[in-house]
Amino acid sequence: MQDPAGSDPIGGSHFPSPMPVRNQQLAAMDPRSQALSTLVRSGESEFGEKEVDLLEYWRVIAKRKWTVLAVFAIVLLTGVMVTMLTTPIYRATATVQIERQANGVVKVPGIDSGDIVYDPEFYETQFQLLRSRSMAEKVAADLDPNEPVFAVMSSPSPLGKLRQAVLGMRGPEAGAVDLAGRRGQLVGLVQSGLSIEPVKGSRLARIHFDSPDGALSAKIANAVAEGFIESNMERRIDNSSYAKEFLEDRLEQVKLKLQDSEKALADFAQQEQIVNIGDRQSLLSGDLTALNGALTAAKQERIDAEARLRQSQGASVFSHPLMLQNEGVQALRSTRGKLEAEYQEKLLTYKPAYPQMLQIKSQIEQIDKQLAAEVKIIKQGMVATYEAAKDKQEMLQQQVDALANDVLALQGRSTNFTLLEREVETNKQLYDALLQRYKEIGITSNVDSNNVSMVDIALNPGAPFKPDFSGNFILSAFVGLVLGVLLAFLFEFLDDTLKRPDEIEKHLGIGVLGVIPKIQGLTPEEASLDARSAFSEAYRSVRTSLQFSTEAGVPKCLLVTSPSASEGKSTTALTLARNFAQLGRRVLLIDADLRNPSLHRVLGSDNSVGLSNYLAGSIRPAAAIKPTKTLRLTYIPSGPLPPNPAELLAGPKMVSLLSLACEKFDQVIIDGPPIMGLADSPILSNLSSGTLLVIEAGTTRIATAKAALKRLFGARAHVVGALITKFDARVAGYGYGYGGDYGGYHYYSYGGAESKQALTKS
C-alpha cells in the first residue's frame, strides 16, 4: 500500500528524496565531469581536410566482392560470346608513298624538293581523296556485285536483326534490287570497309580493306591504290595544261598594266618637275627634327630664367641661389652681421646717441646701400638673361613653323608620285613572278613523273584481323572489373546504414564501447552461456569499457536502449547484468519496455506482476522484485502492458524507484524501449546516470541513429557511448583474421584458437 508521502517502504526503509539524484544526473552530463570523453572527432585532418583512406576503398571492394565478381563474370562471358559469334574479318594492306605536291594553279607541280616539312592539310586532303565516293565508284566498277561475300557484308548486324525482329521490319530481298541499286550498295560496302592509316614520321600511307574474304580484301586494297595513282596522274596533267593557259593570259594582262603604270609615273614626274624627291624629303625631315630639339632646349632655358627671375621678386631675396653664390654680397652680409652684433653688444653699455654708436650705425647704413646696389645689378642680369632666352625661343619657333610648312608642301606633291611608283613596283614584281612560273611549267610540262607510287601490294592475309580473341578477352575482363568496382561503390554509396564502428564515430560523434559479433546456430542466451566464446568475451570487453566511461566508473543507473526495435538491447542489458553480477556486484535488472517486453521470456519468469503494477500504485517495490538463476542478480519484469506507458514512466514513482534501487544495489541496468517514435526512452535517459546506445550493424540507418541521438541529447541524457551488435566482419568488408580478428577488434580465444561456434547469423 502506498504511504501518504508518495514513497513505498521496502525492508523497513523509505525512498529518499529524488532531488539529489537529479543533481547527480546534471553533474554527470557536464563534459568537465567525465573521466574519459567518448566523443570523437570526424575523420578530418587538423586543417579540416578529409584524409584519403585507401584501406577504406579496399574494404568496400571486399564487402561487395560478390557484386564485383558477378559483374566481372557477366561482362567477360558476354565479351567472349560476342567474339565467338562475330564473323571473321580479313584485312589486306597496300602501302603507297605520297610526296608533297603544290596546291595552287600557278605553282609548279612535281618539282618541289623532298625536304619540305610535313604539311598536315595536304596529306589529309590525299587521305580524303582515297576515301572519296568517286574513288569507291571507280573500284566498284570492276567488281561483280553478285559475289556471295557481298551478301554477307550487306547483311544486318545481330543488333540490326534484333531490331528488325522487334519492329517487324524486313530488309529488301536480293532479287528485288535492280543492278543500279546493287552497284550503289557495292559502293557503300567499299567505302565502309576501306580505312587509311598514315605511317607516323614518314610519307607512307597504308590502305586497309576489311571483308569476310581475304582474297577480296587484297583485290580491293590494290585496286584503290592503283586507282589513286592513276587519278593523281590525270589531275597532274590537267592541272599543268590549265596552268600554262592561265599564265599566258595573265602575263599578257600584267604586261599591259605594267606599261600603263610606268607611263603614268613618267608623265607625273615631268609635269611636277620632281627630281630625287626621296633625298629631298629625308633632308627636310632631318632639319625639322634638329630644330625641334633646339626649340625644346630653348623652351627649357626660358623657363629656368623665368623661374629664377620670379624667385628674386620675393621678400627673401638673399636666399636666391645667385645671391648665395655672389661672394661680394656674402662678404657685405657678413660684415653687416658683425657690425649689427657689435651694435647690439654696445647698446647694453651706451646710448644710441653716443658717438661710437652713431659711427657703427652709419657703417651699417653704408653696407645696406652697397647690398641694395649689388642686388639691383644681379636682378638686372637675370632680367637680361630671361629676355635673351625668350627671344631665342621665338626665333626657333618661327624657323620650325616655316620648315614644317615646307615638309607638308613636299609631302602633298609627292603623294601621287609615291602611289604611282608603288603601282609600278607591284606590277613589275607580279610580272616577273608569273614569267618565272610560266618558264618552269614550260620546262616541266612534259615530265610524266607521279608524286604517288606503290610501295607494297596487298596480299591475301592468312589469319583473320578481327575479332581479336585475346584482346577482347582482356578488354572484357578490364571493363567487367571496372564496372563491378563502380557498381560496388554505387551500392555502398546508396547503403546508408551503420556497418562498422568507425562509421558510428564518424557520423554520430560518440565512442564505440564494444563490438558484438553475429552468432549462428545458437540463440543469444545459449551463446552467452559459453564463457569462452567470442560473443561472451565481447560483452566482457564492453563491461570493462563502461568502467572507464565516467569518473566514478560504471554509471550507477545505466539505461540500455536502441534507435529501433530488435537491435539487441534486451540481450545487451541481460548479458551486462550477468557480467556485473559475476564481478560480485549486486545488480538489479529492470525491464522498462512497457510496450513489447522480452526479458521475462528469456529468464523464464512470470510477467503478471511487475514494474507497471508498481507505477500504477497497486504494489510496493519489494513485490515486483524477482530472483534469477544468476547469483546476485535480481530482476523487475515489466508487468502487464499499460495503456499509458509514457505517463507512468514520467511520474514520481519511477524516480523514487531508481533512487531507492541505487541505494540498495551496486548496479542498476534498465532495459528501455526503442527511441524512435516513443517518449519512453528519452524519459528514462533523463532519469538515468548513463545511457548506452545499442546499434545493429548493417540495419540501423544513419539518419535514424542521428535522430535518436538528437532525442537523447534533447532529454539531457548522458550518453556514455555506443555498442554495435550483430557485427559481421565479412559484410563490413574486413574479413576474418587469425585469433578472432574482426577488422581490428580482437577477442583472445582460449586454447589459442577461436571457439568452434560460427559467428554469423542472418
pLDDT-derived band at 442 (thresholds 50, 70, 90) equals low
- Segment 719-738 shows an average pLDDT of 71
For the stretch 638-681, pLDDT in tens is: 999 998 898 989 889 999 999 999 999 999 999 999 998 888 88
Instruction: Using the Cα atoms of residue 350, residue 352, residue 355 and residue 361 in order, give the sign of their dihedral.
Output: positive
What pLDDT is attached to residue 590?
Answer: 93
Number of H helices, E strands in the chain: 26, 15
DSSP 3-state of 691: strand
User: Are 339 and 381 in contact, with CB atoms under 8 Å apart?
Assistant: no
- Among the residue ranges 420-429, 709-718, 735-744, the one predicted with the least confidence is 735-744
Residues 527 and 654 in one domain: yes
Residues 575 and 509 in one domain: yes
What pLDDT is attached to residue 77?
Answer: 92
Residue 211 domain-assigned? Answer: yes
Residues 583 and 715 in one domain: yes
160 pLDDT above the threshold of 60? no
Residue 58 domain-assigned? Answer: no
Residue 691 domain-assigned? Answer: yes
- Segment 690-718 shows an average pLDDT of 90
Cβ-based neighbour number of residue 387 at 10 Å: 13
What pLDDT is attached to residue 716?
Answer: 92
Please indicate whether residue 174 or residue 666 has the higher confidence score (pLDDT). 666
Residues 435 and 551 in one domain: no
CATH code at 224?
3.30.1890
Residue 488 domain-assigned? Answer: no
Grid cell 586532303 is found at 125
Average pLDDT value over all residues in the chain:
76
The cell numbers describing 688, all together, are 538515468
Burial label for 5, CB within 10 Å (0-12, 13-18, 19+), is exposed
DSSP 3-state of 725: strand
- Among the residue ranges 38-42, 325-329, 513-517, 629-633, the one predicted with the least confidence is 38-42
CA-CA distance, 634 to 507, in Å (whole number)? Answer: 37
pLDDT-derived band at 12 (thresholds 50, 70, 90) equals very low
CA-CA distance, 722 to 561, in Å (whole number)? Answer: 10
Instruction: Give Cβ neighbours of residue 734 (< 8 Å, ≥ 6 apart).
Output: 59, 62, 500, 742, 743, 744
User: Are 167 and 120 in contact, with CB atoms under 8 Å apart?
Assistant: no
For residue 128, which phi and psi values (nearest 5 degrees)? -65, -35
Residue 548 domain-assigned? Answer: yes
CA-CA distance, 142 to 135, in Å (whole number)? Answer: 12
- For the stretch 358-363, contacts whose Cβ atoms lie closer than 8 Å and that sit 24 or more positions apart, written own/partner, are 363/339
CA-CA distance, 719 to 511, in Å (whole number)? Answer: 10
Residues 285 and 414 in one domain: yes
Residues 429 and 459 in one domain: no
User: Are 321 and 306 in contact, with CB atoms under 8 Å apart?
Assistant: no
Residue 16 domain-assigned? Answer: no
Amino acid at position 17, single letter:
S
User: Are 10 and 614 in contact, with CB atoms under 8 Å apart?
Assistant: no
Residues 236 and 300 in one domain: no
For the stretch 23-59, pLDDT in tens is: 344 334 343 333 334 444 444 444 344 566 788 788 7
For residue 194, which phi and psi values (nearest 5 degrees)? -90, 140
Residue 56 domain-assigned? Answer: no
Q: Which of 300, 309, 304 is nearest to 381 (CA)?
A: 309
734 pLDDT above the threshold of 60? no
What pLDDT is attached to residue 377?
Answer: 75
Grid cell 630644330 is found at 291
CATH code at 602?
3.40.50.300
For residue 488, which phi and psi values (nearest 5 degrees)? -65, -45
- Among the residue ranges 155-159, 424-428, 449-453, 684-688, the one predicted with the least confidence is 155-159
21 pLDDT above the threshold of 90? no
Phi-psi label, residue 716: left if phi above 0, alpha if psi -120 to 50, beta otherwise: left
What pLDDT is attached to residue 103?
Answer: 43
Amino acid at position 299, single letter:
K
- Best-predicted range by mean pLDDT (59-73, 268-282, 474-488, 522-536): 474-488
Residue 484 domain-assigned? Answer: no
Residues 302 and 428 in one domain: yes
- Segment 374-391 shows an average pLDDT of 77
The secondary structure of 201-218, three-state, reads: CCCEEEEEEEECCHHHHH
Residues 673 and 541 in one domain: yes
- Among the residue ranges 66-75, 403-412, 470-479, 719-728, the one predicted with the least confidence is 403-412
pLDDT-derived band at 443 (thresholds 50, 70, 90) equals low
What pLDDT is attached to residue 382?
Answer: 75
pLDDT-derived band at 216 (thresholds 50, 70, 90) equals confident
Residues 234 and 303 in one domain: no
For the stretch 454-509, pLDDT in tens is: 888 988 888 888 888 888 889 999 999 999 999 988 887 887 788 888 888 888 88
User: What b/e sequence results for 84-109 when a residue is b if at least 16 CB atoms lie within 10 Å of its CB, and e otherwise?
Assistant: eeeeebbbbbbbbebbbbbeeeeebb
- Segment 268-288 shows an average pLDDT of 61
Task: Domain of residue 367: give its range.
Answer: 277-444
- Segment 570-578 shows an average pLDDT of 91
Please indicate whether residue 162 or residue 132 has the higher confidence score (pLDDT). 132
- Among the residue ranges 52-66, 337-351, 412-426, 743-757, the one predicted with the least confidence is 743-757
Phi-psi label, residue 463: left if phi above 0, alpha if psi -120 to 50, beta otherwise: beta
DSSP 3-state of 619: coil
- Among the residue ranges 62-71, 96-105, 362-371, the one predicted with the least confidence is 96-105
For the stretch 589-613, pLDDT in tens is: 999 999 889 888 888 888 889 999 9
Residues 291 and 372 in one domain: yes
User: Are 646 and 680 in contact, with CB atoms under 8 Å apart?
Assistant: yes
For residue 746, which phi and psi values (nearest 5 degrees)? -100, 135
Residues 411 and 543 in one domain: no
For the stretch 395-432, pLDDT in tens is: 888 888 877 777 676 666 667 777 777 888 888 888 78
629 pLDDT above the threshold of 80? yes
What pLDDT is attached to residue 693?
Answer: 92
pLDDT-derived band at 319 (thresholds 50, 70, 90) equals low
Looking at the 3D structure of the chain, how many domains does it have? 3
pLDDT-derived band at 138 (thresholds 50, 70, 90) equals confident
